[in-house]
Structure 1
Amino acid sequence: MAPKECTLHPRSMLDSMNALKNQEEFCDITIVASQDEVKVHKFVLIAASEYFRAMFSSDTKEAKSGIVSFPDTPGDIVKQCINFIYSGKADFSLDCITDFIKASDIFCLHNLTDLYVEFLSENVTMDNVEEMLSVARVYHKEVLKTSIQIFFRDNLKAFIESENLQSLPKDDFLYLLSLVHNWGKEYEMLKWNAIVSWVKEEFCERKYAFLDLFYTIDISFLPRQFIKDHVIQDQLVSESVEVMFKICNTVLDEKPSKLPLVPTEKSTGIISCDKGTKLVYRYSLIEEEWSVFTRLPEGIATNVLDIVEYKGIVYVTTGNAILSFNGMG
């Protein structure tokens, strides 16, 4: 005969242990946080948390003294964690919510962390979405990630136009851009505008992040006219060989069987060298066509390692030299 289970027993046990804590009966550990002290039971902490289990399973000062101090953690946060261990319940507020999540994660109270995250996922707003982005990125919580994506489906444009965008650190901004994925051309254009706005707000410090941010954009979604009028005309693109290379190789309908390389000055296209015909071609994103730029001398074309254009002059790197050639005029 299968044993019967009393579903009330777990709750009754928690209530009994909580009562013992509140009455400070049989307590053998003192938790100290800020100016607060809480008397607790070692076996309860060990049963509830891998963090405390590790602490009391070795020859630590806490195991010897029976005193566990958290000088850098506010007392109300530690008390909330202890109360959850003894009751399975938690009070929720958006105030200092990330501090509560950090503490519950450190204490390995995974169920409490999940409760906090579930609460956050139901309360994403324009005022706290920056904080939510950081939490979702650091703790890899899918339910919060999904809620943020839903929020930005309706509010991405407003967020980009707000002051909140400029205060995002790079890692959180990258995470936001990665969430907006395969949503179509309108969202990819918004991402471009957001990247340009964010970088240029503090250009000297943020320009080095441009390449990483740009790679979150799916160029295939961007309309050709938008690329012509906005993307390739921007200083951030004209100064980035890698970005122009990616743009050209994405928008070209037919890529020649040559080696495409990117000009470094007025980057509105790419150049490439056909080693068979010894011709250097230029592709213009403005005109959307290839044209012959110059012809390389005999013996040079087959040894080309790299080729760039600067101020109308092609510079060719071969095995042992860098040579320059003017266009055909």
Structure 2
Amino acid sequence: MEFPTSFERKSTCPLFGQLERQDEFCDITIKCGTWAKQFHRCLLAESIFFKTLFGQKEFLENQTGIVNIQIGDQDTLEQALMFLYDINPSLNMENISIMLELAEFLFISTLKSFCVKWLNKLTITEHNFWLVLRLRSIYDFSVPSLDVYIDENLVELIAKIEMLEIDNQSVDYILTNKQLSYVGMDLKFDFLMRWTKHDAGKRMKYFDNLLCHIDLLQLSDSMNEKAKCDKFFNYGYMFPKHSIRLVDRFIAIIFKVTVNNVNIELMIVFDEHSKEWHKVESHTSCALKFDYFFDMSDEETIYHV
């Protein structure tokens, strides 16, 4: 048998030609609005969505041979499906959101990887920052250049309403990253409160853990008062400024506070190495009460342990 010494592979070879001709070997029709096109069932099955669909004979789509997908526009959908024919999509800031949504909906992991790789090649600017940040929060992927941009511009960004859309992991990053120590504690705490209230139903469960990263003793008097008066949280343990003077003699503070109408005791421990206060899960019964005093006005007990 004669054979060529070299050749150029053209996508999926004969299948791609069949697709262009829309001949009888294209055995499944994909519709989006008024647009419709026939594809190969065997190639679409590389998508877990289609593989599952084709495996369930009772589904109407298997009887009609037509699958309706109402996500995005016909051009983006066609590019997503052509990815299964080894044709890479042409991505831009206008279609990247829909392409990622299709990758998730159709369970095409390699298409998602392609989109993330494209995003990681972007130079992050004020014009694309918010979109990339939102996509990262929704689809859970890493864009290191995005964190660099946040590090360099957090003071300006933290005041923007769009910043309230970030996920809890991004908030944790902002509050714990030592490189962001140039951002004042008032700004961080105010942002934490605004972020939590923006979607309280889903975010209140994160509030206590995120609050542990706020050095309450660094808060200004005005921010203390703002927190005490915020009925939404009902947190009454904002530290009085005079507590700072206790560091030389006392290394633990136990506050008696009311949280959501429940009386609890909150232990704050001073780390002499980092010179920071930390909230810990404990009880007064665990403290050695060698030396303490009780402040009737603030209802707090200070222990030397």
TM-score, normalised with respect to structure 2: 0.67
Deviation at 1:31, TM superposition (A): 0.5
CA distance in 2 between counterparts of 1:244 and 1:7 reads: 77
1:101 aligns with 2:123: no
1:240 aligns with 2:245: no
TM-score, normalised with respect to structure 1: 0.63
CA distance in 1 between counterparts of 2:290 and 2:68 reads: 75
1:31 counterpart SS class:
strand
Q: Equivalent residue for 1:149?
A: 147
Q: Equivalent residue for 1:88?
A: 87
Deviation at 1:96, TM superposition (A): 3.8
Deviation at 1:241, TM superposition (A): 3.5
Candidates 14, 20, 25, aligned match of 1:16: 14
Candidates 166, 171, 184, aligned match of 1:177: 171
CA distance in 1 between counterparts of 2:291 and 2:284 reads: 6
The C-alpha deviation readout for 1:200-232, integer Å capped at 9, x for no partner, is: 699798699678457436658x595x3355653
Structure 1 residue ranges without an equivalent (≥5) = 1-5, 283-292, 294-308, 317-329
Structure 2 residue ranges without an equivalent (≥5) = 259-265, 269-282
The C-alpha deviation readout for 1:51-107, integer Å capped at 9, x for no partner, is: 211111121211222111113442222111112111331101111422210111211
Of structures 1 and 2, the one scoring higher in RCO (CA 8 A, sep 6+) is: 2
Q: Equivalent residue for 2:278?
A: none
2:219 counterpart SS class:
helix
Matches within 5 A, 1:238-277: 239-241=234-236, 252=247, 254-255=250-251, 260-262=254-256
- Identity among equivalent positions (%) equals 14
Q: Which amino acid aligns with 1:42?
A: R
Q: Equivalent residue for 1:116?
A: 115
Contact map agreement 2:54 2:62 (CA 8 A) in 1: yes
Deviation at 1:33, TM superposition (A): 0.7
Deviation at 1:141, TM superposition (A): 1.3
Deviation at 1:186, TM superposition (A): 4.6
Q: Equivalent residue for 1:227?
A: 219
Q: Equivalent residue for 2:273?
A: none
1:68 counterpart SS class:
strand
CA distance in 2 between counterparts of 1:22 and 1:270 reads: 70
CA distance in 2 between counterparts of 1:313 and 1:12 reads: 77
Deviation at 1:121, TM superposition (A): 2.6
1:91 counterpart SS class:
coil
1:196 aligns with 2:210: no
CA distance in 2 between counterparts of 1:56 and 1:207 reads: 38
1:57 aligns with 2:55: yes
CA distance in 1 between counterparts of 2:129 and 2:169 reads: 12
Q: Which amino acid aligns with 1:136?
A: R
Q: Answer with 33-42 or 14-23: which moved more.
A: 14-23
1:37 counterpart SS class:
strand
2:29 counterpart SS class:
strand
Q: RMSD between aligned alpha carbons?
A: 4.4
Deviation at 1:40, TM superposition (A): 0.7
